[in-house]
Structure 1
């Protein structure tokens, strides 16, 4: 039977769904079978938003119908029958999932004692751990503590004592006071406080359009899922309108103010003003043909929405538009992930809930674990290719998720203008010009010093460091960034050559090599070297093995090293197999603590039945986790074959052996690839940080 976590509230509008989403993500990092159950849904024709949100999570494989219990009408007419159906549905799901996130009912209005008691009874009947979510909105810490005490008392009286109280939507700067007040009244309960997030609670542009019954005149449809934060009524002159713009605001303008439209579009394009979410034109006026021609020549994706209503009525409706956390707004989902991850002590909570880590490691579990580790100690990662739209899209996601602090190279106005035109918020990123005179001079002096023996002059150094790869590498070398990710628009050589010259190899590392982290359906394997060294010698192969084992351990994979060849054990001879045999002995001599086997064929390394026949006494055969290929040709082809044929997620190449982390992207990299590489680089940069706790090893 599975474990269940019942997330309940004593009132409405607490942001309970956001907490459930974040907690589900934490549970998904521990278990490969996470399910969702909502005992009671409202009796309407439309689907429950919260259920749709939770089952949309990548870790959940479940239909909407499979996740719901009964409708609220049955609870009112026959609560005993409702409880019986809920219990039966829960038992069915408990057979299928190792962990169930159970979401309590919503409240249509004010707190309802009957509904609270019903949720408590359901939680008790299901034998679930209860997590209570309260709203801190417009309440003092003492008022919140009083509500927490009364609510936990009600659940306890129904034999469903909460194990945790999470206060959501807490006013800025009040989190510590709220926690202290609740802990004083409930010392035996885990307490967390999550600050109010404007992005999560804000309506999207589509919510605003629906509220005013507007029509989209032009703009990128994808931007309708962006959040709308605040309203600016453009009833004054253009300079005064521009002065009032704020990030992601909605501008409401009379439709006959055609003079203001070019200024609004230019502001959106300029990069020197905050990026707007939408422009609403009121009054039902037609835009004059001359203005349409003028605007058509300005490249922009800003949604323009028209309505027949007056400016005043429209502004009122926009201000009253309510937002919901839904699966179709990645911006809001990333903000929710960040809010929960930064404010909820998930490790302590999972320990309280007695959730045990699965021996299976799915790609999603691995990804969630990496994100959590990157957030644990945020590092500064420099992205040299600030003019690439993929880099900017990845930057927004990284910043929204709170996994790293970013430095983007480029001319600030141009970079921010491009982000604004794409509808991306990178306001938290630092944008640095690689032609900044002060930095160029500082980096040139250091580069000239480093390369003095090669005859590099200061003038040559000034020219060299203005190349974005050299500039970014100098930032890492001088401690102004903790790592660098590049290669989306440059070759591998262009990305890593500066590292060889400036950062150089770690003490004890003979060469720079690479691994791919191969996330299969049920485990993570490490493949090296598949990207850097064409034909390593025995000594270099041994170095690659040691580096790969260390990288595996760094990312939570217990290293059992297979030195691959076309022959297993002593059955084969020849220069190629002899090289692997020699490399294996070198690894054993230098690292006696490592489990290493070689030469060994791939099937003997991964298949227990083959291993039993070929190497029955090996600690590695049949259960290898680190695979060292004899040459680049074999390694590169194998990782691609496994990636395509087995549906594995290949994360990398991850460079190893450098003093500081620099990683290369494929020029065909997708946004998700860039995000993963930044996360990997951030974790590599944490390596020497004593406060970071390594993830539990995956077998």
Structure 2
């Protein structure tokens, strides 16, 4: 069973994942959709699943649904057998967060929380990526992962990026889930992180920083930040195909853009990445595309992490989970 691989982008991601499958930990393995996605990842050679949860409950779900998870590791984090590992992980957490007020007793208690345990597995190098959020609130899960694993060096903030599959090909939207009021620097981080992600998917990023104004026509509010970010990107990363700020119609219509603004640096190119001036506009835009445009959506993909972790939408489908698993593996390969 192959989910979503008919699409060229997904086919590229899946093929890359299969070349070097990584250990992906699923802390919410007491849910059928998680187990089904883990089975597909295992059988397709996309990932090496690690399942956290009560062993008896997982085995019962496997038997009741006639699943085959032979070869997947199952860890009951509350069991006596995991006491030593809980202590070791608590030590790691204290080393990381001790100067932020965490004491060892609290760290030990947090190791009975599967999201903390899974995130620390990745931090400790016992897993390569972790995927959660199916049964927990998005920002709660993101907060745990960010505290334990953290941001990539030089990143002001994490970035959420969604991929919207359109008739003309995939469109990448950032930031859609994390950074509510970005600074000039975080807009630059968002752009660079999205560019790296596209290159890891074997795509050349062509990026428009969108706003309600065009190339400095409005000298107040969010367009000013975007304009400053573009100026800095052009100075420090001249190799990047990025321009703005521009209105959405000019971003998506290259003929209109080139005719109206002949000086633009994207001349003749179709934009595949939209960088939004704030979280509200990015989140609304991708959800409009998803709900009104009848477009498949992948993500949010978390960019800018020190080590790979991804937070899926609550109650997402098996298809969404397996797509995110393949993306997490490619992320870990990088």
TM class, shorter-length: over 0.9
Contact 1:518/1:524 (8 A) holds in 2: yes
Query: Which residue, out of 261, 272, 277, partners 1:625?
Result: 272
- Give per-residue Cα distances to partners, 1:124-173, cap 9 Å, x unaligned: xxxxxxxxxxxxxxxxxxxxxxxxxxxxxxxxxxxxxxxxxxxxxxxxxx
| Corresponding residue number in structure 1 for 2:287 | 640
Contact 1:539/1:586 (8 A) holds in 2: no
Q: Whole-Å Cα distance in 1 between the matches of residues 7 and 242 of structure 2?
A: 28
Structure 1 residue 363 displacement after superposition? 6.4
- The ranges of structure 1 where at least 4 consecutive aligned residues each deviate by more than 6 angstroms after the TM superposition are none
Query: Which residue, out of 80, 92, 96, partners 1:450?
Result: 96
| Corresponding residue number in structure 2 for 1:608 | 254
Contact 2:212/2:246 (8 A) holds in 1: yes
Q: Whole-Å Cα distance in 1 between the matches of residues 279 and 230 of structure 2?
A: 18
Query: Aligned pair 1:432/2:75, yes or no?
Result: yes
Q: Whole-Å Cα distance in 1 between the matches of residues 234 and 77 of structure 2?
A: 46
Contact 1:366/1:519 (8 A) holds in 2: no
Q: Whole-Å Cα distance in 2 between the matches of residues 538 and 530 of structure 1?
A: 17
| Corresponding residue number in structure 2 for 1:401 | 44
Q: Whole-Å Cα distance in 2 between the matches of residues 519 and 525 of structure 1?
A: 6
Q: Whole-Å Cα distance in 1 between the matches of residues 228 and 194 of structure 2?
A: 18
Query: Aligned pair 1:510/2:153, yes or no?
Result: no
Query: Aligned pair 1:411/2:54, yes or no?
Result: yes
| Corresponding residue number in structure 2 for 1:380 | 23
| Corresponding residue number in structure 1 for 2:111 | 465
Contact 2:12/2:201 (8 A) holds in 1: no
Structure 1 residue 537 displacement after superposition? 1.4
How many residues get paired?
Answer: 329
Structure 1 residue 614 displacement after superposition? 2.2
Q: Whole-Å Cα distance in 2 between the matches of residues 426 and 669 of structure 1?
A: 21
Structure 2: state its 5+ residue gaps: none
Secondary structure at the counterpart of residue 426 of structure 1: coil
| Corresponding residue number in structure 1 for 2:304 | 657
| Corresponding residue number in structure 2 for 1:492 | 138
Q: Whole-Å Cα distance in 1 between the matches of residues 37 and 262 of structure 2?
A: 47
Task: Between 576-585 and 642-651, report the one with greater CA deviation.
Answer: 642-651
Q: Whole-Å Cα distance in 2 between the matches of residues 521 and 369 of structure 1?
A: 18
Structure 1 residue 640 displacement after superposition? 1.3
Q: Whole-Å Cα distance in 2 between the matches of residues 551 and 470 of structure 1?
A: 26
Q: Structure 1 pair 363/596, CA: closer, same or farther in 2 (3 Å)? A: farther
- Give per-residue Cα distances to partners, 1:239-260, cap 9 Å, x unaligned: xxxxxxxxxxxxxxxxxxxxxx
- Give per-residue Cα distances to partners, 1:590-631, cap 9 Å, x unaligned: 322212111111111111221123222323266212210011
Q: Whole-Å Cα distance in 2 between the matches of residues 592 and 381 of structure 1?
A: 36
Structure 1 residue 391 displacement after superposition? 0.5
**Larger-gyration structure (1/2):** 1
Q: Whole-Å Cα distance in 1 between the matches of residues 35 and 192 of structure 2?
A: 35
**TM-score (normalised: structure 1):** 0.46
Query: Which residue, out of 185, 191, 197, partners 1:545?
Result: 191
Q: Whole-Å Cα distance in 1 between the matches of residues 270 and 10 of structure 2?
A: 22
Query: Aligned pair 1:669/2:312, yes or no?
Result: no
Structure 1 residue 485 displacement after superposition? 0.5
Query: Which residue, out of 473, 494, 501, partners 2:147?
Result: 501
Structure 1 residue 445 displacement after superposition? 1.3
Q: Whole-Å Cα distance in 1 between the matches of residues 213 and 182 of structure 2?
A: 18
